[in-house]
Chains A and B, each alone.
Chain A
Amino acid sequence: MPYFDVDKYSYINRLSKCSPITKLFLSLSGIVLSVSSPSPPVPIIVFSVLAALLIFLARVPAKFYLKMMTYAMLATVLNCIVIALFFGSKNPIAYIGIHGYGITVYGDAVDLGITLFCRVLGGVSSLFFLSLTTPMMDTWIVLRKMGAPPILVEMSMLMYRYLFVFLEYASRMHLAQELRLGYSTLRRSFRSLSLVATNLFIGTLQQGERTFTAMTARGYDGNIRMLTELPKPALSSVAGIVVFDILMAFMIFLTQHITVV
């Protein structure tokens, strides 16, 4: 059965039974700290701490985590290179080009590029920390407790559940087509893929109908009620996060003028 590894680890990691409020707090404060830092050191510390927590405490395989981070950061690297090359106005440090046709690279732009990269690194690692340690259901319960519109929570719950049903459905169709040479040429591949898409679309409509019938049979009245009991946040971990956040806030203040170039 196909399923996403991120989803799998969110259930089997060692922190999955921890209070989602604690994890959400850590993750959100990590994002805020990373984004508000004007220099690289704090985001790098946030990334290191959260990566260490994920790998050593939650026991998410390091190899998997690094692969995930690499994919996310590849796109960021390209963006940051563009910024480093084409922005800025002070402190020219290099010139690329021939006979007067080229670009001047400025020191402040390189700094901005590097800082931006680090901020994204810190932010992305905070987000991955949440998604790798917290089962989706816990996130929805927290969202609902925080007063998110029920329709959004209900829709994302149904989408999450049926994503896996349709992934399996799609991969079975794909296999059946492949076995009958549906992907032997580029032209046939396009045709086969469009058939999968059409079938899936019709399939989702029918599934919706059947799910609604089954829900009606259990007394569905337009509201999906759920059990909203969650593990209590451990005071020690909340205190630890608060101390970490205050420390980092000071660090931001102290390191605000640090530049690389």
Chain B
Amino acid sequence: MSFRFDKVSYRYPDGTDALKSISLKLAKGMKIALVGPNGSGKTTLLLHLNGILKPTSGQIYVDDRPLDYKQAFLTELRRRVGFVFEDPNDQLFAATVRQDVAFGPLNMGLAIDEVEARVSEALESVEMVEYADKPPHFLSMGQKKRVAIAGILGMRPDIVVMDEPTSMLDGKMADQIIDLLTKLNSEGKTVITSTHDVDLALEWADDVLVLRSGTLLAQGSPMEIFQNEDIIARSGLKIPFRLELLNQFRNHSDGLERFPIPQDMMTWLLPKNARMRGQTDNGGR
């Protein structure tokens, strides 16, 4: 399932222009990160992917078909595009974990046996089986986020959209959520996230889109984006820690002659997903 935005603009009823004529492509099977400071339009853009928001002007194409806002089309779209909201309290409305996860599958009109099978499967993949009969207010923030993810996995979506996956979580829990997203991607799902955590985007994503006040500044591989000083400066983001360190080493090359940094350390400084091709990226200088 792929998306194409053609000059999409969105204005909120209060007059805020959240998206300004954005054109982009989101390819199938990728780990995609939308980065940008607060208020840059990340969430607004994501809400267009399942038809919750409708562009004020412009057109969205799903698998090269124009997105149709008729109910039948939207129902199918929302099944295929699972949306995990930033604050799990917005999403978890039912009195127990099991009922909440069952909500989506039940809305799809599946048989009860099938719903129950999917609920157990979804809870298993987020490791929350033992909490099935607990109410959401018994859970920690990280557990709530995992249940929110299970709630959309039960619908077996092709695409998992997650708004700010690591917000409100401590480091370890954030890592667990990211590992889970990576696992979902390796199972063939496209994963789209928004974040202002540049270190995360550099480490995790295959494709990075930089948003700034409702416009798309750049789209490309993490190394292309984050090593481009011009983009970083205009986006209002900071340079990821690893690249900052790498730059520091390079800028003090006289020191490096006396204390050469071993090549494997330089490689370590590169983000995981850039290490394979990393040699060509940093070899020039």
Contact = CB atoms under 8 A, between A and B. Distances in A.
Interface of A: 1, 3, 7, 11, 135-137, 140, 157-158, 160-162, 164-165, 207, 210-211, 213-221, 224-227, 229
Contacts of A3: 137-138
Contact of A219 (B78, B91, B133): B78
Contacts of B137: 1, 3, 161, 164-165
B136 A161 contact: yes
A213 to B, nearest CB: 6
16 contacts: A1-B137, A135-B95, A137-B94, A140-B95, A161-B137, A165-B137, A210-B90, A211-B93, A214-B93, A217-B83, A217-B85, A218-B78, A219-B107, A227-B98, A227-B99, A227-B116
A164 B139 CA distance: 12
Given A161-B95, A226-B106, A227-B115, A219 B134 contact: no
A219 B94 contact: no
A11 B155 contact: no
Contacts of A217: 50, 52, 78, 83, 85
Contacts of B75: 219
A219 B75 CA distance: 6
Task: State which size class the interface on B falls in.
Answer: 35 or more
| Chain A residues touching B, majority SS | helix
A217 B91 CA distance: 9
Contacts of A162: 93
A162 B135 CA distance: 11
Interface in B92-116: 92-96, 98-99, 102-104, 106-108, 112, 115-116
Contact of A218 (B99, B107, B116, B134): B107
B103 A224 contact: yes
Contacts of B103: 215, 218, 220, 224-226
B52 A11 contact: no
Interface in B127-146: 133-138
Given A213-B52, A225-B103, A227-B116, A218 B152 contact: yes
Contacts of B95: 135-137, 140, 157, 160-161
Interface in B143-159: 151-152, 155
A161 B93 contact: yes
Nearest to A224: B103
Contact of B94 (A11, A135, A157, A165): A157
Given A137-B94, A217-B52, 17 more contacts: A7-B135, A135-B133, A161-B135, A164-B137, A165-B89, A210-B85, A211-B91, A217-B50, A217-B83, A217-B85, A218-B152, A219-B104, A225-B106, A226-B99, A226-B102, A227-B99, A227-B119
Nearest to A221: B107
Contacts of B42: none
B49 to A, nearest CB: 10
A226 B98 CA distance: 9
Contact of A158 (B50, B93, B106, B152): B93
Contacts of B115: 227
B78 to A, nearest CB: 5
Given A11-B134, A135-B133, A219-B79, A226 B94 contact: yes
Nearest to A165: B89
A225 B151 CA distance: 14
Contacts of B152: 218
A170 B178 CA distance: 31
Given A210-B85, A216-B52, A161 B104 contact: no
Interface string B197-230: 0000000000000000000000000000000000
A227 B115 CA distance: 9
Nearest to B139: A1
A219 to B, nearest CB: 4
Contacts of A207: 89-90
Identify the interface centre among B96, B152, B155: most chain A CB within 10 Å of its CB.
Answer: B96
B96 A218 contact: no
Given A219-B75, A219-B78, A227-B112, A214 B102 contact: no
Contacts of A11: 133-135, 138
B192 to A, nearest CB: 14
Nearest to B106: A225
Nearest to B155: A218
A12 B115 CA distance: 26
A227 B93 CA distance: 15
A214 B90 contact: yes
Identify the interface centre among B108, B115, B135, B137: most chain A CB within 10 Å of its CB.
Answer: B137
A3 B120 CA distance: 27
Given A137-B99, A161-B93, A161-B95, A218 B52 contact: no
A167 to B, nearest CB: 9
A165 B91 CA distance: 12
